[in-house]
Structure 1
Amino acid sequence: MKHIDSRIPRVKMALMLFLLLTSTFVQAKASKKDKDPGKSEWIYFGADGKLVYKKSAKGDRIMDFSHAGYMGGGVALPDVTVKVTVKPPGDVNADCTALIQAAIDKVSALPLDKNGFRGAVLLAPGTYPCAKTIKITADGVVLRGSGKSENGSIIAMNGEKHTAVILSNGLNQRAGNRLGNAAGNEKTVKITDKYIPAGSLSFNVANAAGFKVGDNVEIRKPVTDKWVSFMHMDDLVRDGKAQTWIKTGSLLITERHISAINGNKITLDVPLVDSYDVNYTNDETTMVLANDVKRLKQAGLENLRIVSPPQAVNHTKALYYAVRLNGEDCWMKDLDLMETMESVGTGGRRITLQRIAVIRKALHDGASKPAEFAPNAGQILVDRCSVEGDNIWYVALGAGQTGPIVFLNCNFVGNGRIEGHQRWSTGMLLDNCKAPNGGMDFKNRGSMGSGHGWGTAWSVAWNCEAGSYVNQIPPGTYNWVIGSKGKSMPLPRPFNNAGPALPEGIFDAQNTRVNPSSLYLAQLEERLGKQALKAIGY
C-alpha cells in the first residue's frame, strides 16, 4: 500500500501534465484556426493551388460558374466599328425614334464581316426624345452612345408607355434554360444514370448514335407528382384556393453543347446545375437535339443614358421599361437607366451586362414589387452593376431559370431584396455583392404570387454583405451563404406563419471573408488562365 501510495502524487502530476499539454494543444489548434480565417469547407485552395470542392454523399457540389458571360466567359467585349453617326435634331420636341431606327436599319443591311459584325450606330452627344421603341433585330449590330453622363447621349422616353430599346430578332425560340414542354418530331434519347449529381459534366444515354460533338442539346427533367410531393409543394393554398407550384408534365430544360462522346457517355461544355434522381423523375430524363436555335447574335447596347418620366405607380400598370435583350453572345454595358421600372430583362444565353446602373427615385406603389434586373437567361454575367431604389426587387428570376447566373461586384442601395423568386430557378451566384440595407434570399415563397413555392436551389452567396439572408434548404438540395456578412433571418413558409421556420441552408464562415476572394474569378482563372481575367477587366 505504501508503494502504491507513493506513486499517487506522481500519477496525479503526470495526469495533470497530460491534461495541460492536451489543453494547450487544443487551444493552439483553435488559436491557429482563429488566426487563420478565410477558408470555406465547401471550396478552398488545395496545396497545389487548385480549387478543392467538397461533395455531398451523393456527389453534389457547387458548380463551376465561370462559363457565365459573353462567349461563355473570359472573352473581351468587342469594339465594333462605327458605320453611321446620328446627331440630335435642333427641335427638342422632335420624336427621334425614326431617326435612330433608320440608322440601325441601314447598318443592319450591311453584310456580316468575318467576325460576325455589321457595324455600330453612334449617337452623338445630346438628348434624343423617343416616343416609341428602338429595335435591333439583325446580328452584328451595336447601338452606342457618346457617354452616359448628362453631357453624353440621352434617350428621353415620352409618349405612350413602351420599352426604350429591344434587342431581339423576334423569331419564336425553343424554351432554352427554363420551364417548357415537349414538341413533336424531336430526336430524343433517354438518360440512363440513376442519379446525376449537381455540378456534373457528364452522364450516360441509352444510345448516342445520331449525336455529335458540337451539337446543341437540351437536358430535360420532367416535373412529376412524386417530385412535387417530395418538395412539399402539393399543399399550397391561398384564400381558400389550391395553388399550383409547377404543373406536372412540364419540363425543366437546360441547354448545353456536347463537348465529347465516348461510347454512350456524353460530356457537356458547361456543368449541370441541378441533380437528376430517377426516384423522382419516373426514369424519364432525356437529352434532345436542339440545333435549330436561331437567336440574335453579336448585338450590343453601349455607353448611353435612358431616362423616363418618374413612375410612382404599381408595376402591374403600363410602364416605361428600359431594355430587353433576347439573344446569344450579346452584351449591354455602360448604361444609366433613370426612373424606368422593371428596367432590365434578358433571355437566351451567354450574355454580359456590365456597369449598368438603375436609379429610381419615384417610390413604387403597392405591396407586389417590380424586378429591376430579371436575368432570365442561361450563362449570364451581371458585372459591376447597381440598383438604387426602395420597395423593389433588385433581382428576381423567373420560373425554371437555369444557371450559371452570376452577379459579380454589384451594389444595391435601398431596402430591396434579391431572390430566385419563383418555381425552381437554379444556379445563381452572388459574388462580392452588397445590399447593406436590403437582403439576399434563397427561399420558399409558398403561396405567394400564384404559388411561387421554392424559388431557387443550388445557389450561392459568396463574400457578400446584406442586412439579412433568408437561406433555406429545399429537400434533396443545398443553398449556400459563404464568407458573407449579415444575419440569418429564419422564416416559416408564407401563409403558414403559425408553422415552424423552414430548415436553414448552409451558412459557412459567416461574417468572415474567405478565399478565394471571388469565386467566379478564381474559377475562371483556373479554367482559362489570367488572360481571361484581363479580358473582362480584372
Structure 2
Amino acid sequence: MKMQSLPLLAVVALFPFSMEAQVKSEWVYLNAQQKLSYKTLEKGDRIMDFSYAGYMGGGVRIPAPPVKITLSAVEGDNSAAIQRAVNEIAAMEPVNGFRGTLLLKPGMYNCDNTIVINTSGIVIRGSGPGETGTVLKMTGEPHVCFSVQGRVNLQKAGKPAMITDRYVPSGANSFHLSDVAGLAAGDMIQISRPVTPAWVKFMGMDGLVRDGKKQTWITGEITVERVIKKIEGHKVILELPLTDNYDAAYLGTSSVIKVMVSGEISQVGLELMRIVSPAQSGTINEKAHKAFNIRGAADAWARDIDVYNTVNSISVSDAKRVTLSRINIYHETPTKGAAKPADLNGSGSQILFNQCKVQGDNVFYFATGAKVSGPIVLLNCTFLGNGWIQPHQRWATGVLVDECNVPDGGIDFMNRGIMGSGHGWSIGWAVAWNCKAKTYLNQQPPGAANWVIGSLGEKTKRAIPFDTIPYLPEGYYDAHNTPVSPSSLYLAQLSERLGAVALANIGY
C-alpha cells in the first residue's frame, strides 16, 4: 500500500510528548510548501536526515513471528533450559526471515549464565515487564543476561576508487568517483576516511599528554558502509546520507571499495520482560551484571523491557538498523568513582532509542564508542538523576537527541581531552532538538558543527578538561529556551520521507 504523507503541521499535532512549539529554527524549518528546508554552512554541510534510524531503516512496524516453544519457570537455574529452546528454534527453517518465537510464561526465572542468540530469525518474548510478568533474575557470577551476537565479516571485492570531490559535506548523499567500473545500484560499499597527521593537528588532538605520556586520539582510518542507490556517470548516490564531511585539504584522498557482508545475523528481538540484578554499587572496573548486548546484527529490536540494577546495562555495537523502544532502567544505588558506566551505549549505525527511561545517579545515560558513524537517535526519552547524555570518545558523528528530558543532568557535545585515554573530540554533527536539561555543554569542533536548538536549560562554557582557560568555542545555539516547530525533528523527517503510515508503524 502506498504511504500517504500528512502535512507536517498536522504531523506535529500528533506527537504526544511535544513541548508547545513557538518559533521556527533557522537550521531546519517548514517552508511555504510545508516541506523541510535546511540551512547549510559555507561548504554545504547541514543537519542530516536522521529518519533512517531504526528497525529496517525507520518507519517499519516491529513484527510478531509465531510462537514455536513455550517455557515456564522452574526452581533453580533456568538459563540452560532457555538456551536449549533457543538452540532448538535456531535449527528450524526460516519462513519470511523468521524461525520463530520463544515465549516465556509469567514467573521468576533465575539465570546463572548468559543466554546467547547467534542465529537469525529468533525472538524471545516474555509475558510482560511487570512484577507478575516474566522476570529474569540474574544469579551466579556477574554476566550479561542476553547476548545477541553475530560475527560480521566484510570481504572487499574489486579495486578501490578515489573520491574526486575536494570537499564532500556532512549530510550529503552523493560524491564523485575516479572509476565506477564494477559498481551498481544495490551494492554495498565501504568508504574509508583516512586519519592523517594533518587532520589530527587541525582538530587540535596532536598534543594530548597525560601524566607526562602522549595520548593517542585516533589512528588508521574511519570507515562507514553505505548502499548505492544509483549511479549517474561518475556520481554515486547513496541510500543513506553521510554523517561527516570529507575534506581533501586535510585528509588527502578518501577511497571507496565494494564489500560483501557475511556472518551478520538479522530479524532478532527481545521483548516484554523484566531483568533484575542484585543492587550493585562498585566501580566500573568491578565485574557486574549487564542486561543485554546486540552486536554484529542488523534489523533487530528490543522493546518493553524493565531493567533493575545492571551496570553498563545495554550495548548496541557493530550493528545497524536497530530499535530499542520503551526500555526502562532503574538503579537502587549509584556506582562509585569518577569513571562512570553508560546505561545505553549506541555504537552502531541507524540506531533508534525510542521512549526509553533511565533513573540513576553517577551514570552516563547515553554514550558512544570510537569512530561511530550514525545516524543515532534518542527520541522522547527521559533521564532522571545525576547523569549525562554524553557521546563519549574519539569522534562519533551523527547523533540526534530529540525531545528528551534530563531535568537534573546535562547534554554534552564536548571535547573530553585527555579524559579516559585521550578521548578528545567525542562528537561532531550532533543535534539536541527541543530538549529539556539542567545544563548544556555545546562545543564546536574544528571543521564541524554541533547544534542545540529549541531547547530549555542553562548554557555552560568550559575549557578542555583539567584546564581552566581558554573556554572552547561554542557550537550553534538556536532559539534557546524557546521550543521550535516541528516539535520532533526525527518524526518530521520520517513523515516527509515515508508518510503518515511510517509514524503509525512506530506508535505515533
Q: TM-score by structure 1 length?
A: 0.89
- Percent of aligned positions with the same letter in both sequences? 48
Give the 5 Å matches for 1:213-362. Answer: 213-247=185-219, 250-283=220-253, 285-326=254-295, 327-347=297-317, 348-362=319-333
Conservation of the 8 A alpha-carbon contact between 2:393 and 2:416: yes
Counterpart for residue 142 of structure 1: 123
Q: For 1:467 and 1:404, how far apart are their aligned partners in 2?
A: 25
Counterpart for residue 58 of structure 1: 43
Question: What amino acid does structure 2 have at the position aligned with 1:212?
Answer: A
Larger fraction in helix: 1
Question: What amino acid does structure 1 have at the position aligned with 2:267?
Answer: Q
For the pair 1:445 / 2:427, whether they are aligned, the reply is no
Give the 5 Å matches for 1:357-396. Answer: 357-396=328-367
Question: What amino acid does structure 1 have at the position aligned with 2:161?
Answer: V
Note the alpha carbon deviations across 1:493-527, whole angstroms, 9 max, x for none.
01222x21000000000000000010000000000
Note the alpha carbon deviations across 1:239-283, whole angstroms, 9 max, x for none.
121111112xx1111111000011111000010010110001122
Counterpart for residue 31 of structure 1: none
- Cα distance, 1:288 vs structure 2: 1.8
* Candidates 472, 478, 488, aligned match of 2:443: 472
Note the alpha carbon deviations across 1:182-217, whole angstroms, 9 max, x for none.
x88763211111000110000000110101111111
SS of 1:279 mapped into structure 2? helix
Conservation of the 8 A alpha-carbon contact between 2:100 and 2:123: yes
- Cα distance, 1:126 vs structure 2: 0.1
- Cα distance, 1:294 vs structure 2: 2.9
Of residues 184-193 and 69-78 in structure 1, the stretch that sits farther from structure 2 once superposed is: 184-193
Q: For 2:182 and 2:459, how far apart are their aligned partners in 1?
A: 50
* Candidates 42, 58, 82, aligned match of 2:27: 42
SS of 1:206 mapped into structure 2? coil
Conservation of the 8 A alpha-carbon contact between 2:377 and 2:402: yes
Counterpart for residue 10 of structure 2: none
For the pair 1:126 / 2:95, whether they are aligned, the reply is no
SS of 1:376 mapped into structure 2? strand
Q: For 1:259 and 1:450, how far apart are their aligned partners in 2?
A: 39
Give the 5 Å matches for 1:64-213. Answer: 64-89=49-74, 91=75, 94-113=76-95, 115-169=96-150, 171-174=151-154, 187-213=159-185
Conservation of the 8 A alpha-carbon contact between 1:238 and 1:495: no
Conservation of the 8 A alpha-carbon contact between 1:369 and 1:392: yes
SS of 1:523 mapped into structure 2? helix
SS of 2:493 mapped into structure 1? helix
Question: What amino acid does structure 1 have at the position aligned with 2:116?
Answer: K
Q: Work out which structure has the larger RCO, using CA pairs closer than 8 Å and 6 or more positions apart in sequence.
A: 2
Of residues 187-196 and 390-399 in structure 1, the stretch that sits farther from structure 2 once superposed is: 187-196
Question: What amino acid does structure 1 have at the position aligned with 2:419?
Answer: M
Note the alpha carbon deviations across 1:462-499, whole angstroms, 9 max, x for none.
000000000000011110000000011100001222x2
* Candidates 435, 446, 471, aligned match of 2:406: 435
Question: What amino acid does structure 2 have at the position aligned with 1:333?
Answer: R
Note the alpha carbon deviations across 1:406-434, whole angstroms, 9 max, x for none.
00000000010011111000000000000
Question: What amino acid does structure 1 have at the position aligned with 2:385?
Answer: G
Which has the larger Rg?
1
Conservation of the 8 A alpha-carbon contact between 1:216 and 1:258: yes
Question: What amino acid does structure 1 have at the position aligned with 2:90?
Answer: S
Counterpart for residue 483 of structure 1: 454
Question: What amino acid does structure 2 have at the position aligned with 1:495?
Answer: F
- Cα distance, 1:292 vs structure 2: 2.2
For the pair 1:458 / 2:439, whether they are aligned, the reply is no
Note the alpha carbon deviations across 1:55-95, whole angstroms, 9 max, x for none.
11100100000000000001001111111000111x2xx11
Go from structure 1 to structure 2 and tell me whether the alpha carbon gap of 1:184 and 1:111 turns closer, same or farther (over 3 Å shift): closer
Question: What amino acid does structure 2 have at the position aligned with 1:241?
Answer: K
Question: What amino acid does structure 1 have at the position aligned with 2:454?
Answer: G
Note the alpha carbon deviations across 1:26-45, whole angstroms, 9 max, x for none.
xxxxxxxxxx9421000100
Go from structure 1 to structure 2 and tell me whether the alpha carbon gap of 1:118 and 1:184 turns closer, same or farther (over 3 Å shift): closer
Q: For 2:190 and 2:50, how far apart are their aligned partners in 1?
A: 19
SS of 2:123 mapped into structure 1? strand
Note the alpha carbon deviations across 1:416-469, whole angstroms, 9 max, x for none.
001111100000000000001000000000111000000000000000000000
Note the alpha carbon deviations across 1:332-361, whole angstroms, 9 max, x for none.
101011001100101210000000011111
Counterpart for residue 14 of structure 2: none
Q: For 2:325 and 2:159, how far apart are their aligned partners in 1?
A: 37
Conservation of the 8 A alpha-carbon contact between 2:67 and 2:102: yes
- Cα distance, 1:172 vs structure 2: 4.5
SS of 1:187 mapped into structure 2? strand
Go from structure 1 to structure 2 and tell me whether the alpha carbon gap of 1:69 and 1:172 turns closer, same or farther (over 3 Å shift): closer
Q: For 2:59 and 2:159, how far apart are their aligned partners in 1?
A: 32
RMSD: 1.2
Q: Which runs of 5+ in 2 are unaligned?
A: 1-20
Q: For 2:157 and 2:148, how far apart are their aligned partners in 1?
A: 30
Question: What amino acid does structure 2 have at the position aligned with 1:75?
Answer: V
Q: For 1:329 and 1:38, how far apart are their aligned partners in 2?
A: 36
Query: How many residue pairs align between the two structures?
Result: 486
Q: Which runs of 5+ in 1 are unaligned?
A: 1-35, 175-182
Conservation of the 8 A alpha-carbon contact between 1:436 and 1:466: yes
- Cα distance, 1:98 vs structure 2: 0.9
Larger fraction in strand: 2
Question: What amino acid does structure 2 have at the position aligned with 1:466?
Answer: A
Q: TM-score by structure 2 length?
A: 0.94
